[in-house]
């Protein structure tokens, strides 16, 4: 299970919440294992997970009928699912269904709840929470849907609760650590494959093909990719092109990927060919990266000395703030 239920319930207790609703794609997956594809692709599609406090009922996934095959995936550990929206699945008579197809047929046999908020309201009432204090992750729900939820539950108290999920996710579960570790391994292998073809005359697209091909071969899936060489490596959102690599070019690789619904970003900035220790570009790069290197050293020293995470993020920030402080002319 991805969800750190101990911390989530502790955060709910601190905020006096009887239940919490995940609405942001990351939190929906975190709270249920349900990867709602359309919700990840664009803003607008709705998917929710209602998680009551202990002893107040089991969690419920609210999913579009068009995503029912993903809701039926074995990785989804929340088994109580309400669907909404018309979607037709035709079945050939007398065909033997496997376990996944049987689960899809079971979910499609349930009532269509019409639309997302109506299905969420039904789930809340099924758990007897219509007069409860309910935390709602405010990031993924559209404003008009929040208003409709409040109108449908006049006796309930709705409070913003995205910070409760942030609190829970700050400490990873063993499964989440395993997925993150594997995702990082895939990234390193993919970068090695991209650099293996990074010779003079190779294009940014050549590097992209090598990187994404290795990612897929290792069991991951590309999410997006920023690859740029030479002057294009300075572009924030550079997309791979047919620009050819020249000796001495900086290569920028910023390539998130997904492994079992776990996203991971990996960045690298190697250089094509050797660079002299006296090259002014090396001195400039060292000057820019020294604050970050110093920050990492301060963080490690603090953890070794104190043995706790207290001040873990505040401690190393000073040298970075000094470097990034705006300069006045």
pLDDT in tens, 154-190: 999 999 999 999 999 999 999 989 988 998 899 889 9
Based on the fold, state whether residues 164 and 242 are members of the same structural domain.
Answer: no
* Residue 18: count of CB within 10 angstroms of its CB: 20
Q: What does the pLDDT read at residue 42? A: 79
Q: Mean pLDDT across the stretch 230-237?
A: 90
- Residue pLDDT, tens place only, 295-309: 666 666 666 666 555
Based on the fold, state whether residues 53 and 187 are members of the same structural domain.
Answer: no
Alpha-carbon distance of 321 to 9, in angstroms, equals: 35
CATH number at residue 181: 3.90.230.10
Based on the fold, state whether residues 155 and 35 are members of the same structural domain.
Answer: yes
Instruction: Select from 265, 309, 260 the least CA-distant residue to 2.
Output: 260
- Terminal Cα-to-Cα distance of the chain (whole angstroms): 53
Based on the fold, state whether residues 13 and 118 are members of the same structural domain.
Answer: yes
The residue out of 274, 301, 318 marking a domain boundary is: 274
Based on the fold, state whether residues 70 and 153 are members of the same structural domain.
Answer: yes
Q: Mean pLDDT across the stretch 107-111?
A: 92
Helix (H) or strand (E) holding 194: helix 174-196
| Top-confidence residue, 232 or 327 | 232
Alpha-carbon distance of 109 to 114, in angstroms, equals: 14
The residue out of 243, 274, 305 marking a domain boundary is: 274
Whether 327 shows a pLDDT value over 50: the answer reads no
Based on the fold, state whether residues 19 and 90 are members of the same structural domain.
Answer: yes
Based on the fold, state whether residues 34 and 127 are members of the same structural domain.
Answer: yes
Based on the fold, state whether residues 32 and 134 are members of the same structural domain.
Answer: yes
Report the SS3 class of residue 16.
coil
Based on the fold, state whether residues 14 and 97 are members of the same structural domain.
Answer: yes
Based on the fold, state whether residues 129 and 178 are members of the same structural domain.
Answer: no
Tokens representing residue 198 in the block: 């990074």
Q: Containing domain of residue 321, as a range? A: 279-329
Q: What does the pLDDT read at residue 2? A: 85
C-alpha triplet 237, 40, 238: angle, nearest 5°: 10
Burial of 74 (0-12, 13-18, 19+ CB in 10 A): exposed
| Top-confidence residue, 247 or 134 | 134
- Residue pLDDT, tens place only, 17-33: 999 999 999 999 999 99
Based on the fold, state whether residues 270 and 293 are members of the same structural domain.
Answer: no
Q: What does the pLDDT read at residue 229? A: 92
Based on the fold, state whether residues 200 and 312 are members of the same structural domain.
Answer: no
Instruction: Select from 264, 176, 271 the least CA-distant residue to 224.
Output: 264
Q: Mean pLDDT across the stretch 46-58?
A: 95
Confidence class for position 274, pLDDT limits 50, 70, 90: very low
Strands (DSSP E) contained in the chain are 19-22, 48-52, 60-64, 81-84, 133-136, 157-160, 221-222, 226-229, 251-254, 257-259, 262-264, 267-268
CATH number at residue 37: 3.40.350.10
The residue out of 131, 149, 169 marking a domain boundary is: 169
Its pTM stands at 0.74
Alpha-carbon distance of 267 to 190, in angstroms, equals: 11
Task: Give percent of the chain with pLDDT exceeding 90.
Answer: 60
Instruction: Select from 224, 235, 229 the least CA-distant residue to 269.
Output: 229
Q: How many domains does the chain have?
A: 3
Burial 138-162 (b: 16+ CB within 10 A, else e): bebbeeebbebbeebbeebebeebb
* Residue 22: count of CB within 10 angstroms of its CB: 33
């Amino acid at each position: 299970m991805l969800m750190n239920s101990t911390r989530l319930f502790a955060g709910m207790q601190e905020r006096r919440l009887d239940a919490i609703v995940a609405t942001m794609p990351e939190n929906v997956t975190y709270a249920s294992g349900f990867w709602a594809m359309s919700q990840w692709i664009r803003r607008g599609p709705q998917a929710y997970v209602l998680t009551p406090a202990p002893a107040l009922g089991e969690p419920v996934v609210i999913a579009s009928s068009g995503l029912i095959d993903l809701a039926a995936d074995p990785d989804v550990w929340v088994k109580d699912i309400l669907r909404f929206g018309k979607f037709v699945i035709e079945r050939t008579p007398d065909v033997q269904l496997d376990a996944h197809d049987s689960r899809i047929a079971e979910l499609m046999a349930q009532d269509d709840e019409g639309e997302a908020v109506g299905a969420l309201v039904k789930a809340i009432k099924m758990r007897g929470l219509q007069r409860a204090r309910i935390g709602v992750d405010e990031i993924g729900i559209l404003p008009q849907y929040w208003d409709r939820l409040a109108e449908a539950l006049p006796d309930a108290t709705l409070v913003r609760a995205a910070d409760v999920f942030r609190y829970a996710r700050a400490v990873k579960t063993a499964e989440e650590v395993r997925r993150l570790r594997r995702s990082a391994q895939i990234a390193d292998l993919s970068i090695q494959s991209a650099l293996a073809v990074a010779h003079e005359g190779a294009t940014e697209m050549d590097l992209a093909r090598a990187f994404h091909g290795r990612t897929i071969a290792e069991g991951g899936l590309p999410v997006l990719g920023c690859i740029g060489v030479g002057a294009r490596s300075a572009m924030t959102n550079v997309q791979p092109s047919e620009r050819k690599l020249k000796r001495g070019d900086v290569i920028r690789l910023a390539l998130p990927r997904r492994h079992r619904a776990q996203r991971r970003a990996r960045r690298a900035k190697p250089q094509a060919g050797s660079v002299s220790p006296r090259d002014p570009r090396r001195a400039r790069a060292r000057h820019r990266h020294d604050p970050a290197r110093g920050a990492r050293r301060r963080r490690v020293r603090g953890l070794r000395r104190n043995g706790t995470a207290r001040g873990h993020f505040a401690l190393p920030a000073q040298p970075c703030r000094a470097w990034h402080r705006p300069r006045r002319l």
